[in-house]
Amino acid sequence: QVRLVDDGGRLVHSGDSLRLSCTATAGTFFSTYTTGWFRQAPGKEFEFLAAINWSNGSTYYPDSVQGRFSISRDKANSAVLLQMNSLTPEDTAVYHCGAGRPSLSSIQTWRAYYYWGQGTQVTVSS
């Protein structure tokens, strides 16, 4: 069974940037899926951050992170990247990548994704 591996989380300071990566145990796995990034802070619901359709490169963002977070494909390494800028303590959470075939109406819904990484902790200190 294919597994996703999300990586790159660490302790950073307010205002810093950080890039997370999501890879799959099967090298070409992402080619037929939409990959999304979500996060979950303590006591809060899963929050949609970004998604990308690997085949055509279309990207999707909620208004809350538009212009600050950026999702991209790293074709050379078969990875999906999440670039995060101007981080604040409110960005502290466990970040997860997921893959699935959501419709446009469900792309922000975590239940539409059926492969998940184990999560990577991002902590932003003030």
Q: At 100, is the pLDDT very low, low, confident or very high (cuts 50, 70, 90)?
A: very high
> 112 φ, ψ to 5°?
-80, -5
Give the type of residue at 2: V
5 DSSP β-pair partners: 23
- Structure confidence at residue 27 (pLDDT): 67
- pLDDT single digits (tens) 40-74: 999 999 999 999 998 899 999 999 998 999 999 99
For the chain, the straight-line distance linking the first and the last C-alpha, in angstroms and rounded, comes to: 40
- pLDDT single digits (tens) 21-44: 999 887 678 888 999 999 999 999
37 burial (CB, 10 Å; 0-12 / 13-18 / 19+) is: buried
> Any idea what the Cα angle at residue 52 is, between residues 66 and 125, rounded to 5°?
50
The per-residue pLDDT of the chain, averaged, comes to 94
What's the rounded Cα separation, in Å, for the pair 78 and 76?
Answer: 6
